[in-house]
């Protein structure tokens, strides 16, 4: 664990009115399962008297800067792990960006743990081992009974203590608890979880989500394509730093983007990965 975790009163304090207990995890993940290196980002687990939320720290930072300086910036979390749920529940509301839109859909994600007698020391905390099979992957968690929250990163909850460390057997996803905070009131996420900086989440179901993802794959630059018309053949648009002059050049960019989408198709719930065709 990189930083010394300072919990102090968290050892004896339970949730009370208008407080947020915040735990920050470093997430290391592979966007492409065949690559050797990991991407890294910090994720926030907020536990309030009524709800639990998990989201990228950069979302909160962007929101804070907007409010402080009167800006109108936006940020897209690429982790695919923005969720919220009621306290003590396995029913999750999932949030994600698809096709220039922001959506939410509900899932029930019951996790059955096998708790081991194995323990280890991290800093001054005794952690206990637990394993599970979830989302098409096998996972190992190390949790602390002394921290009175049965929560953990993403959807990994239900253990008799807070999850400090979590990883799948292939180390595609590694979560490490690095910091804790106690906020004096319930922290509002209305502008960046329930909405994405002005775009309120549109409720859909999982079938609709997959349909939208496939539509984006089939034509990821549909908006740009619409800018080309028979009466506007000299239009120039920019895609990823490359100037596009005609539909043929746009189609080449579509093929390139489809290759990228297929390559970076390694969601934390592997059993829900999209199966994209090669055209």
pLDDT in tens, 126-178: 999 999 999 999 999 999 999 999 999 999 999 999 999 999 999 999 999 99
| 242 vs 135, more confident | 135
**Cα 217 to the center of its chain, rounded Å:** 20
Do residue 238 and residue 175 come from a single domain? no
- Closest by alpha carbon to 79, among 63, 94, 99, 62? 94
CB 189 within 8 A of CB 53: yes
Same domain, 190 and 213: no
Over residues 254-277, the pLDDT tens digits come to 999 999 999 999 999 999 999 999
> Are 43 and 87 in the same domain?
yes
Predicted confidence at residue 54, as pLDDT, reads: 98
Percent of the chain with pLDDT over 90: 81
**Percent with pLDDT over 70 in the chain:** 90
Distance between CA 109 and CA 154 in Å, rounded?
Answer: 11
- Mean pLDDT calculated for residue range 5-10: 46
190 lies in the same domain as 210:
no
Do 219 and 171 lie in a common domain?
no
In a domain, 2, yes or no: no
Q: Which domain holds residue 116?
A: 8-196
Whether residue 215 contacts residue 230, with contact meaning beta carbons closer than 8 Å, is answered with no
Do residue 162 and residue 210 come from a single domain?
no
Q: Does one domain contain both 185 and 213?
A: no
Q: Are residues 68 and 179 in the same domain?
A: yes
* pLDDT for res 12: 42
- Only one residue has tokens 């979302």, namely 59
pLDDT band of 229, cuts 50, 70, 90: low
Check residue 1 and give its pLDDT.
56
What's the mean pLDDT when you consider all of the chain? 91
Tokens 């939410």 locate to 104
Domain boundary among 196, 228, 248: 196
- The count of domains in the chain is 2
Whole-angstrom distance, CA of residue 61 vs CA of residue 79: 16
> Which contiguous run of DSSP H or E holds residue 56?
strand 51-56
- Give residue 182's Cα distance to chain centre: 22
């Amino acid at each position: 664990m990189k930083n010394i975790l300072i919990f102090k009163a968290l050892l004896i304090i339970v949730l009370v009115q208008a407080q947020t207990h915040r735990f920050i995890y470093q997430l290391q993940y592979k966007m492409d399962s065949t690559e050797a290196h990991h991407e890294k980002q910090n994720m926030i687990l907020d536990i309030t008297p009524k709800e639990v939320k998990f989201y990228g720290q950069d979302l909160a930072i962007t929101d804070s800067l907007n409010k402080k300086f009167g800006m109108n910036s936006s940020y897209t979390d690429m982790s695919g792990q923005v969720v919220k749920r009621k306290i003590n529940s396995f029913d999750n509301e999932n949030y994600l960006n698809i096709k220039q839109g922001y959506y939410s859909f509900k899932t029930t994600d019951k996790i059955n743990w096998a708790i081991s007698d194995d323990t280890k020391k991290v800093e001054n905390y005794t952690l206990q081992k637990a394993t599970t099979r979830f989302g098409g992957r096998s996972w190992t968690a190390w949790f602390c009974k002394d921290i009175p929250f049965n929560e953990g990163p993403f959807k990994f909850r239900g253990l008799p203590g807070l999850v400090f460390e979590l990883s799948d057997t292939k180390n595609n996803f590694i979560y490490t608890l690095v910091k804790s905070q106690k906020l004096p009131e319930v922290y509002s996420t209305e502008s960046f979880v329930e909405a994405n900086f002005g775009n309120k989440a549109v409720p859909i179901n999982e079938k609709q989500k997959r349909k939208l993802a496939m539509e984006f794959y089939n034509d990821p630059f549909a908006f740009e394509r619409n800018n080309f018309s028979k009466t506007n053949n000299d239009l120039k648009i920019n895609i990823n730093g490359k100037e596009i002059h005609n539909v043929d050049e746009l189609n080449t960019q579509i093929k390139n983007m489809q290759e990228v989408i297929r390559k970076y198709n390694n969601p934390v719930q592997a059993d829900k990965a999209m199966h994209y065709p090669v055209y």
